[in-house]
Amino acid sequence: MIKLSEHFTYKKLIRFTLPSIGMMIFMSIYGVVDGFFVSNFVGKTSFTAVNFIYPFIMVLSAFGFMFGTGGSALIAKTLGEGDKQKANKLFSMLVYLTLVVSAVVGAAGFFALRPVASLLGAEGEMLENCVSYGSILMYAMPAFMLQYEFQSFFALAEKPSLGLWVTIAAGVTNMGLDALFVHPDLLDLGLEGAAAATALSAAMGGFIPLLYFSFKNSSLLRLGKPYFNGRSLLKICTNGSSELLSNISMSLVGMLYNYQLMEHSGEDGVAAYGVLMYVNMIFLAAFIGYSVGVSPVIGFNFGADNRIELRSVLKKSIVIISLSSVAMLIAGEGLAYPLSLIFVGYDKILLDLTLEGFRVFSFSFLFAGLAIFGSCFFTSLNDGLTSAIISFLRTLVFQTAAVLLLPVFFGTDGIWWSVVVAEFAAAALSAIFIVIKKKKYKY
């Protein structure tokens, strides 16, 4: 077991973060599996509906990311300062708070589904599909939020491998239940079956860790008695606001993309974008997983005032992110056709549109990794403001500006290029902040 206090070589850094990377990738597979079964066995309209309403669901569940990333940063710093008792109190406060917040948010989201989907342009059969799919997932909102939160806490507890195995179990469950519930030769429950499969697998990913941390365990964290500290909670929310803003902004921008594509290409455009988002989720999950995995190391060394190790981890992380970005671009271009074929091979026009978007969209992987890491890096330093600025500009301002302006001049191609332009701008911004903040944090 690798401890946070150790010196991290490249090999050790990859070993420590690999479970978090795997965990995030399996998390992203949930929606991908739903999309595959719905697209191939239920129909294009239902597939479009899933992609249309999913960003709204992600907006609501984003509080889990905020509590997880913001909380792990403060808890890691507290552990680095040697106060384990306070660290566990903060951990307990966040878990209990998440259960309460998720129940309230899920109930509100249930009633908001129809008006939101209608406002975004869904109507007729597509509107009903949005409501059917989303309603089931609202019941699982506590599980979703807990699962997102525990992604950060497993690495912090020095149990990243356990988090990976829990997520793999949940992912395999999702795949198996999708096949059982959706396939026409089995239960044939259609769109509702896909939603039920996702909800049940999320329950496994959220509540198994809850049980683990509730009892005596060998990790650094354990769930204790209810505790509340308003000042600490404000600090956590400030630290995690970047991830909250990032996930909300990404979802809002996703809705804007869907709206623009409906205007320019109709349902086929939304379906094609859905395929790109599935691949994007998996590729970006690797960057997010690495950033989540390395964050406790950064936070711990910041709290322990070990600037030499902090500087070393930063340099190694930039090298790892850079090499991974090039590899992902190559993989994206190489896998464009087979991945498009898997999802929409039944429709030649839709396949061609998806492939055209894929060829352009893949270039965004060159820049996304640095922007994601930059935001998480400053969250780990408990600099929530800088992290929030990077996330806000990356996921909302840059992408909104690009997706509104570029299609005016380049049509549908402008929509695909807007992601690339926005990620490039965000990567440049992250690099600037890392350079100008160097003296302040002495890394």
Greatest mean pLDDT among 13-22, 135-144, 158-167: 135-144
What pLDDT score does 31 carry?
62
Give the integer Cα–Cα distance in Å for 28 and 26: 5
Residue 9, number of CB atoms within 10 A of its CB: 11
Residue 348 burial by CB count (10 A; 0-12/13-18/19+): exposed, middle or buried?
exposed
Confidence of residue 416 (pLDDT cuts 50, 70, 90): confident
Residue among 256, 289, 286 at smallest CA distance from 273: 256
pTM of the complete model:
0.71
Output the DSSP codes for 349-404.
HHHHHHHHHHHHHGGGHHHHHHHHHHHHHHHHTT-HHHHHHHHHIIIIIIHHHHHH
Q: Say if residues 140 and 202 touch (Cβ distance below 8 Å).
A: yes
Round the average pLDDT of the chain to a whole number and report it.
85
Give the integer Cα–Cα distance in Å for 92 and 171: 26
pLDDT tens, residue by residue, 203-219: 998 999 999 999 988 88
Higher-pLDDT residue of 136 and 5 is 136
- Maximum alpha-carbon separation in the chain: 63
Rounded mean pLDDT of 62-68?
Answer: 84
Confidence of residue 136 (pLDDT cuts 50, 70, 90): very high
pLDDT at 402 over 90: no
Q: Say if residues 162 and 221 touch (Cβ distance below 8 Å).
A: no
Residue among 336, 247, 300 at smallest CA distance from 76: 300
E strands along 136-213, which residues? none
What pLDDT score does 365 carry?
92
Lowest mean pLDDT among 54-68, 76-90, 127-141: 54-68
pLDDT at 441 over 80: no
pLDDT tens, residue by residue, 297-340: 898 888 888 889 999 999 999 999 999 999 999 998 888 888 78
What pLDDT score does 429 carry?
94
Give the integer Cα–Cα distance in Å for 108 and 160: 33
pLDDT tens, residue by residue, 329-363: 999 888 888 878 877 777 777 788 788 888 888 89
User: Which are the contacts of 15, defined by CB distance < 8 A and separation ≥ 6?
Assistant: 2
Confidence of residue 434 (pLDDT cuts 50, 70, 90): very high
Lowest mean pLDDT among 8-17, 49-58, 66-75, 168-177: 49-58
pLDDT over 70 for what percent of the chain? 98
What pLDDT score does 82 carry?
85
Residue 172 burial by CB count (10 A; 0-12/13-18/19+): exposed, middle or buried?
middle
pLDDT at 290 over 90: yes
Name the one residue in this structure whose structure tokens are 């030769």: 185
Backbone angles phi, psi at 165, to 5 degrees: -65, -35
pLDDT over 90 for what percent of the chain? 28
Rounded mean pLDDT of 267-286?
Answer: 78
Name the one residue in this structure whose structure tokens are 């929310």: 237
Name the one residue in this structure whose structure tokens are 């709204």: 56
Rounded mean pLDDT of 167-196?
Answer: 88
Residue among 199, 201, 236 at smallest CA distance from 97: 236
Confidence of residue 29 (pLDDT cuts 50, 70, 90): confident
Q: Say if residues 428 and 393 touch (Cβ distance below 8 Å).
A: no
Report CA torsion sign: 7, 12, 15, 20: positive
Domain residue extents for the chain: 11-441
Residue among 295, 422, 314 at smallest CA distance from 363: 422
One-letter amino acid of 2: I
> Buried b vs exposed e over 417-436: b needs ≥16 C-beta within 10 Å?
bbbbbbbbbbbebbeebbee
Quick one: which H or E segment has residue 243? helix 230-303
The encoded tokens of residue 208 equal 């198994």
